[in-house]
Amino acid sequence: MKILLISPSTRPDSKTAAALMIPQLGLHILEGLTPPEHEVKIVEEEVEDINIDEPCDLVGISCMTANAPRAYRLADEFRQRGRKVVLGGVHPSILPDEAIRHADAVVVGEAEGLWNEVLADASSGALRHRYHRPETDLEKYIPMRKGSFARKSLFNILPVMTTRGCPFNCDFCSVSHLFGKRIRHLPVVNVVRFIQETGAKRYLFLDDNIIGDPRYARELFAGIKPLGIKWVGQASVSFSRNRELMKLAAESGCGGLFFGVESVSAAQLQKMRKSLKDIALVEDAIKRVRDAGILFHASLIFGFDEDTKAVFPETLEFLTRNKIGTATFNVLTPYPGTRVYEQFRREGRLLTDDWRYYDHATVVFRPRNMSPYELQKGKTWVKREFSSLSSILRRLPANMLHPFIYAAMNLAIRKNAIEDYRELPRQKTELFDRRAKPAEA
């Protein structure tokens, strides 16, 4: 069979420079799982156009919530042309009954252990509506086809994942729902082999918490240290308590870590399923991580029920005072499959069910202590002030260990903040002055 694997874009008319894109690991895993008698082509619509009339026997589309409407439109177009379509990824896994209305089959959860079954059924014309196998075995090595990552991203950064599952089960997150609360691992020998075979020098570890299992993390850091790579990843703030592990991470090439700080509100920290619930402990963690030679990237979320408009200047002051290197600014997004989605739906607080807006960046609900527009504008204001040239220069001395990463990421945040401000009038008209149209489902 000729197989077309697609990652759709939320906005297909707006392309991202290929050099700024990190390849979609999930599609390359599917390619690696595919027996050699099949021909595979990968298309990431974020950087290239999709040919609806592409000759193929099977189309596999992987999507998240924000690009689900686009995925559905593409699926419908391919099916009208007689192609068999399989949908997978986070959104179809959460809402398989919605997804199957646009596909011949839906893969729920992880594809390892299922993909060859899907291909066999497709070849014999006997695709089932749903495929699901909880907690797939991750022991088997999946080789990447030669040239699979030929289009490499800026700085030659490639994605790699070593774990699945998360024990925290936060109200606004669906990771534990998808992959379970038990942390599972790829064998370290397989991770090392992947890095050696792909041949890059810089990697992004996609794990939700790379130090979730300290014993495995030690083995991983020891295994990749001789490879001489540089890498960034994600970890819980509690990582800072383990100086030995931080030292091992830095020695293995860790240049920066993404930390889910989420909020600087004392009341909100107490409510979260996080290990550090005191802002003073978070500030101490920031200092410990920086002292270990690792760039601290803070992820913030605005829009919790405890948040008032005071949270915006309070957050900016916190980031400036602690000389945070880089940061991500999100609004609380009630993704389907999360407790916060069920709560807001129950309370009638959702502004729209058009999944295009469920993108971390756009307010899709009515906050408790401010208007939706005030939340959108406040988040955008913090982002713009944090990434101002004066702020970048003021925080630079504390982040001189990684000046190139620091400058590149802050300038990218600044560019994105300018684009966010330009979007405010459109968002106000489409979402906040009137409710958006329902999603195509």
**pLDDT 10s digits, 426-437:** 888 888 886 544
Query: What is the pLDDT, as a whole number, of residue 147?
Result: 66
Query: What is the pLDDT, as a whole number, of residue 440?
Result: 43
| pLDDT of 143 higher than 90 | no
Q: What percent of the chain has a predicted confidence (pLDDT) above 90?
A: 65
| pLDDT of 166 higher than 90 | no
For the segment 322-346, the average pLDDT, to the nearest whole number, is 93
Give the whole-angstrom CA distance, residue 51 versus residue 78. Answer: 10
Q: What percent of the chain has a predicted confidence (pLDDT) above 70?
A: 88
Name every residue whose Cβ is closer than 8 Å to that of residue 146 and which is 6 or more positions away in sequence.
none
| pLDDT of 135 higher than 80 | no
Give the whole-angstrom CA distance, residue 38 versus residue 180. Answer: 32
| pLDDT of 90 higher than 80 | yes
Kindly report, residue by residue over 247-261, the tens digit of the pLDDT. 999 999 999 999 988
* Alpha helical stretches, state H, 257-338: 266-271, 279-291, 311-321
Name which of 41, 47, 38 is nearest 18 in CA terms.
47
Q: Encoding tokens for residue 429?
A: 């008209």
Name which of 252, 363, 237, 376 is nearest 309 in CA terms.
376
Kindly report, residue by residue over 100-118, the tens digit of the pLDDT. 999 999 999 888 889 999 9
Identify the band that residue 15 occupies on the pLDDT scale cut at 50, 70 and 90. Answer: low
| pLDDT of 381 higher than 90 | yes
Q: Which domains does the chain have, with CATH numbers?
A: 2-132 (3.40.50.2300), 154-432 (3.80.30.20)
Asked if 333 contacts 379 with a C-beta cutoff of 8 angstroms, the reply is no
For the segment 328-344, the average pLDDT, to the nearest whole number, is 93
Q: What is the mean pLDDT of the chain?
A: 88
Give the whole-angstrom CA distance, residue 195 versus residue 191. Answer: 6
| pLDDT of 2 higher than 60 | yes
**Between β-strands 105-108 and 84-88, what pairing exists: parallel, antiparallel or unpaired?**
parallel
Which stretch of 153-162, 255-264, 370-379 has the lowest confidence by average pLDDT?
Answer: 153-162
Measured CA distances, 366 to 100, 198, 265, 305 (Å): 30, 46, 19, 10
Asked if 47 contacts 176 with a C-beta cutoff of 8 angstroms, the reply is no
Please report where in the chains the tokens 């896994």 appear, as a residue.
93
Query: What is the pLDDT, as a whole number, of residue 435?
Result: 55
The DSSP symbol for 348 reads T
Kindly report, residue by residue over 168-183, the tens digit of the pLDDT. 666 666 666 676 677 8
Q: Encoding tokens for residue 1?
A: 């069979």
Give the whole-angstrom CA distance, residue 86 versus residue 57. Answer: 11
Query: What is the pLDDT, as a whole number, of residue 89?
Result: 93
Identify the band that residue 438 occupies on the pLDDT scale cut at 50, 70 and 90. Answer: very low
* Alpha helical stretches, state H, 60-137: 68-80, 90-94, 96-99, 115-123
